[in-house]
Amino acid sequence: LDRPIAMALVARDHAEPGTRLAIDLRGTLVDAEVVKMPFVKK
C-alpha cells in the first residue's frame, strides 16, 4: 500500500467516511481519515 494503515474505535459522531482525525501515534499526533472497509480493492 506504500502508506501506514490502522484500525481504531471512534465515537459514532466521528465515524463517517471522510472525517479527518488527529490520532496519537506513540506520543506524536498524526493526521488520519476515516474510510469505508475494505480499504483495499480486490
Show the 3-state SS of the chain: CCCCCCCCCCCHHHCCCCCEEEEEECCEEEEEECCCCCCCCC
C-alpha distance from residue 14 to each of 1, 2, 40 (Å):
24, 26, 21
Closest to 6 (Cα-Cα) out of 28, 18, 31: 31
The 10s digit of each residue's pLDDT in 6-22 is 888 999 999 999 999 99
Question: How many domains does one find in the chain?
Answer: 1
* Residue range of the domain that includes 20: 1-42
The 10s digit of each residue's pLDDT in 22-39 is 999 999 999 999 988 877
* pLDDT, position 1: 73
Give residue 3's pLDDT band: very low, low, confident or very high (50, 70, 90).
Answer: confident
